[in-house]
Protein backbone atom coordinates (compact mmCIF):
# COMPACT_ATOMS: atom_id res chain seq x y z
CA UNK A 1 0.00 0.00 0.00
CA UNK A 2 2.65 2.55 1.05
CA UNK A 3 5.00 1.77 -1.84
CA UNK A 4 2.38 3.05 -4.30
CA UNK A 5 2.24 6.55 -2.81
CA UNK A 6 4.69 8.97 -4.42
CA UNK A 7 5.27 10.80 -1.14
CA UNK A 8 6.23 7.65 0.75
CA UNK A 9 8.40 6.49 -2.14
CA UNK A 10 10.23 9.81 -2.08
CA UNK A 11 10.64 9.63 1.72
CA UNK A 12 11.98 6.09 1.39
CA UNK A 13 14.43 7.22 -1.30
CA UNK A 14 15.57 10.14 0.89
CA UNK A 15 16.13 7.80 3.84
CA UNK A 16 18.12 5.38 1.66
CA UNK A 17 20.21 8.23 0.24
CA UNK A 18 20.88 9.61 3.72
CA UNK A 19 21.96 6.19 4.98
CA UNK A 20 24.27 5.68 2.03
CA UNK A 21 25.73 9.15 2.53
CA UNK A 22 26.38 8.40 6.20
CA UNK A 23 28.27 5.25 5.15
CA UNK A 24 30.49 7.30 2.82
CA UNK A 25 31.07 9.90 5.55
CA UNK A 26 32.00 7.15 8.02
CA UNK A 27 34.47 5.75 5.50
CA UNK A 28 36.01 9.21 5.09
CA UNK A 29 36.39 9.63 8.86
CA UNK A 30 37.86 6.13 9.21
CA UNK A 31 40.48 7.02 6.61
CA UNK A 32 41.26 10.51 7.93
CA UNK A 33 44.90 9.54 8.54
CA UNK A 34 45.39 7.26 5.54
CA UNK A 35 48.04 8.65 3.17
CA UNK A 36 46.75 9.60 -0.30
CA UNK A 37 43.10 8.93 0.64
CA UNK A 38 40.72 11.29 -1.15
CA UNK A 39 37.47 12.31 0.56
CA UNK A 40 34.26 11.25 -1.20
CA UNK A 41 30.59 12.19 -1.01
CA UNK A 42 27.32 11.40 -2.75
CA UNK A 43 25.60 13.92 -5.01
CA UNK A 44 22.78 15.89 -3.39
CA UNK A 45 19.47 14.02 -3.11
CA UNK A 46 17.66 16.70 -5.12
CA UNK A 47 20.02 16.13 -8.05
CA UNK A 48 19.67 12.35 -7.81
CA UNK A 49 15.88 12.47 -7.49
CA UNK A 50 15.50 14.76 -10.50
CA UNK A 51 17.74 12.64 -12.75
CA UNK A 52 15.43 10.23 -14.64
CA UNK A 53 18.39 8.12 -15.80
CA UNK A 54 19.47 7.46 -12.20
CA UNK A 55 16.75 5.51 -10.34
CA UNK A 56 17.32 4.23 -6.80
CA UNK A 57 19.00 0.85 -6.27
CA UNK A 58 17.79 -2.10 -4.23
CA UNK A 59 20.84 -3.24 -2.30
CA UNK A 60 19.03 -6.29 -0.90
CA UNK A 61 16.39 -8.56 -2.38
CA UNK A 62 13.71 -7.42 0.09
CA UNK A 63 14.08 -3.69 -0.56
CA UNK A 64 11.15 -1.84 -2.10
CA UNK A 65 11.95 0.22 -5.17
CA UNK A 66 10.13 2.22 -7.75
CA UNK A 67 9.11 0.46 -10.93
CA UNK A 68 12.16 -1.46 -12.11
CA UNK A 69 15.47 -1.78 -10.33
CA UNK A 70 17.29 1.42 -9.53
CA UNK A 71 20.59 2.28 -7.89
CA UNK A 72 22.17 4.84 -5.63
CA UNK A 73 24.79 7.02 -7.29
CA UNK A 74 28.44 6.22 -6.75
CA UNK A 75 30.39 8.36 -4.34
CA UNK A 76 32.47 11.03 -6.02
CA UNK A 77 35.73 12.59 -4.92
CA UNK A 78 35.32 15.88 -3.10
CA UNK A 79 37.61 18.76 -3.97
CA UNK A 80 39.49 20.10 -1.00
CA UNK A 81 42.84 20.90 0.47
CA UNK A 82 45.26 18.03 0.81
CA UNK A 83 47.49 17.40 3.78
CA UNK A 84 51.20 16.86 3.15
CA UNK A 85 50.54 13.09 3.07
CA UNK A 86 48.00 13.53 0.23
CA UNK A 87 44.90 12.98 2.37
CA UNK A 88 41.99 15.34 1.61
CA UNK A 89 39.64 14.46 4.51
CA UNK A 90 38.58 17.38 6.69
CA UNK A 91 37.05 16.12 9.94
CA UNK A 92 35.19 19.40 10.39
CA UNK A 93 33.61 19.12 6.94
CA UNK A 94 32.68 15.49 7.63
CA UNK A 95 30.97 16.52 10.89
CA UNK A 96 28.88 19.09 9.03
CA UNK A 97 27.97 16.57 6.32
CA UNK A 98 26.99 13.98 8.94
CA UNK A 99 24.60 16.46 10.57
CA UNK A 100 23.06 17.24 7.17
CA UNK A 101 22.62 13.52 6.45
CA UNK A 102 21.05 12.92 9.87
CA UNK A 103 18.63 15.81 9.37
CA UNK A 104 17.64 14.45 5.95
CA UNK A 105 17.07 11.00 7.43
CA UNK A 106 15.00 12.43 10.29
CA UNK A 107 12.92 14.42 7.80
CA UNK A 108 12.28 11.28 5.74
CA UNK A 109 11.11 9.42 8.85
CA UNK A 110 8.85 12.32 9.86
CA UNK A 111 7.25 12.37 6.40
CA UNK A 112 6.73 8.63 6.50
CA UNK A 113 5.19 8.80 10.00
CA UNK A 114 2.88 11.67 9.03
CA UNK A 115 1.73 9.82 5.92
CA UNK A 116 1.15 6.71 7.99
CA UNK A 117 -0.91 8.71 10.51
CA UNK A 118 -3.05 10.20 7.74
CA UNK A 119 -3.74 6.77 6.26
CA UNK A 120 -4.56 5.31 9.67
CA UNK A 121 -6.92 8.21 10.40
CA UNK A 122 -8.64 7.76 7.05
CA UNK A 123 -9.18 4.09 7.91
CA UNK A 124 -10.56 5.03 11.31
CA UNK A 125 -7.72 3.44 13.24
CA UNK A 126 -6.02 5.17 16.15
CA UNK A 127 -2.29 5.75 16.28
Residues 11-57: tens digit of each pLDDT: 888 999 999 999 999 999 999 999 999 999 998 888 877 766 555 55
- Whole-Å CA distances, 30 to 94, 122, 126: 11, 47, 44
More confident residue, 68 or 89: 89
Q: Please state the pTM of the whole predicted model.
A: 0.74
Q: How many CB atoms lie within 10 A of CB 23?
A: 14
Residues 78-93, mean pLDDT to the nearest whole number = 90
Q: Is the dihedral of CA 24, 25, 29, 32 positive or negative?
A: positive
Instruction: Give yes or no for residue 7 having a pLDDT over 70.
Output: yes
More confident residue, 120 or 102: 102
Which residues lie across from 41 on neighbouring strands? 76
- Whole-Å CA distances, 59 to 2, 38, 116: 19, 25, 24
* pLDDT reported for residue 67: 43
* pLDDT reported for residue 35: 94
Amino acid sequence: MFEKLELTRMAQALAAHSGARMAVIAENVANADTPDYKARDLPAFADVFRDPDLPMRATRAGHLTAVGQGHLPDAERVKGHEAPNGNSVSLEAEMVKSVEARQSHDMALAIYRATSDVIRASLGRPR
